Structure 1
Amino acid sequence: MVRLIILRLLESFFRRPLLSLAPFVVALALGAGYILLSPPEYLSSGKIYIEKDSLLASLTSSNSDASWWVTPAQATANELGELLATNAFVRSAIQQTKLEPLMAGGPEVVWETFTFFRETISINPLGDKLVEIRATTDDPELSYQMVVATMDTYLKWKLNNDFQESIAAQKFFESLIAPYQADVDKTRQALIDFLSANPEPVRGERPPGEQFQLDQLQAALARAEERLSAAQENEESARLALVKNESLIRQTYQIVDQPEIPQKAEFSLTGFIKNMIIFVAIGIFLSASLIGGGALLDRSLRFPVDVRHGLQVPLLALVPLSSEAMPPASVTAAVSEVERTALQPQEV
């Protein structure tokens, strides 16, 4: 049965070879036209170097990421990918590009703009400490703006994130200092009043009761002063964090390759091959479908094997083809071989 199917497919192809190959040729032509007529694409990129072991970080004990399980570049790329998934980050970046007027459109236009921005920006870690940010569009200026906006928005986000944390910490400890100071003043005044009312005896020691009360007041004052001192130190650390934050971020994240406006379009060999493979596959599928459909719909008896399998009767005679209708010798030999094999008696 398999041999009969192969024979029918060969006959369907060679009966109308030009028509069978037409879908494949058309698909190739469409693929070439699509590639040639596609708008040129312009690539802009920038690179950020991440140095977690900066001098300022070591002096201020801010190197808290020394035990990462991933490299600084991979961690930064992951963080950027997560931020790009948020509308707030993308919206802030779009404000710095030519896409900003689209934000005045309806919800559908805004959503399409967000999607376009996310799909256009690509983040690639290069080694352990280098991250590349790329954008490819049909507008060279837009590609440049998208890369610059992404890098600037990320650095600003890092600055603002640490800044807000420092501000919150400073306000928290500032709110503690006033009541702690009042507690110290109250405890100190209580000790002064006790000493005024119970001065040190001229001779001998204080009575045990007075000494116990004095020790209690002195211990309470020491605790209050220690608590106030800790709050003041923490408030000073938060204020120091505000000062050092920007310098630390600038030292940690350095833009080593500034993006530039691309001057010529990019040619991607990988993209070209991928597009051609897609159109070639479509052409092969259409041609195979046409050949298979012609063989399936053709119910005529064209070969001796058709008589045997279709009518279940023995073949007595075969009308020979004229010289004008004879197919090429190679095709005749192939068909004859298939027929001969198909007509052989099958062993049980």
Structure 2
Amino acid sequence: MAAKRPSSGGKWKQLFPTKCSLFVFLAYMALFINQGIMVTASQRADNSYSYNTVTVVLLSEATKLVVSFLLYLRENKASELFAEMSQHTRVLALYMVPALLYCLYNNLAFVNLAAYDPTTYFLLLQLRVVVTGIVFQVLFKKQLSKWQWVSLFILTLGCIVKQLNVTEKNAQVVTSPKTDDITSHMVSSLFSVHTGLVLLQVLCSCLAGVYNEKLLKDIGAEVHIMVQNVFMYIDSILCNAAVLLMRGELGSAFTVTALSQIWQPAVIVIIINNAAVGIVTSFFLRNLNSILKTFASALELMFTAVLSWLIFGIDIGWWTVLAIALVTYASWMYAQNPVVNRGRLDQLEGSQTSEEVRLVSSETTEV
């Protein structure tokens, strides 16, 4: 007898197990869209920044640390936090891996955008969709189905097509708009040292996201999520401080002059929004997974295009329309067969439920 296919309600339940997980998904996209808009608003006319970007990242990590600490204290005592931290020092050490990877990713973004035209940069960056799938399979030993892979490739194609709209606009402003010149420029850009740096950036993004999920759901599943956030942000602060030290800016980054450049409404909003992104991402990876996170990022790209049209009057070309159609179709296809990855969370929750039942039974027997 043929296996019964899950209903649309069952598929939705697999995609978003709880109402909270749907809220986390939407909040993740909204915060990232807002981050892009705010960073653009803080730029000078020449697209440079008046503030030290590494310091902003470090202050964002410090804000995340304080928020995580306060959220933990809502239900627990400070002594319990320090007890958990001393009990799980191995998890604290392991969080140095994603912290270092995210630190590299954030700083490589500035290096690569200075070396590449945005079109080539964003084209190469879309490799993270497929790479995330490969890393996910390796770390979690969970094979993706044929249709899940197809949806990932369609999603990648949609992101690439979105950038063709940028290519078309750039081609119109080239002083010598010969097809051979444009093609030659793209090919020479692809085979340079910086191509390796972009690929390293892609790898950092994928490894950090999937490994962070591994820590949340498997290795550190029994550790409170806010304690894990504290681990992550302590390590992130150390990594970004090391970057400032290597650049010889550790002292100058916190002078009155440097901090006055950061103490602007737009930059403060960036720090707060970035802190919110970090907290929401931890809930995203805990309740959902890295594969769905790539779809959220792609949908974010599409929503940004629509919002840019509505807010800034930036035209949406036919390439963008096609990209939105591809990403929408890929998202629908994925929703028919979503990845379900709970790690050891179900096992731990089952053990806690069994323990509660045992305690209730023993109390009833005594009575």
Global fold match (TM > 0.5): no
**TM-score of the two chains, using structure 2 as the length reference:** 0.23
Which has the larger Rg?
1
TM-score, reference length from structure 1: 0.24
Q: Per chain length, whose mean CA-contact separation is higher, i.e. which structure has more relative contact order (CA < 8 Å, sep 6+)?
A: 2
Greater helix share, structure number: 2
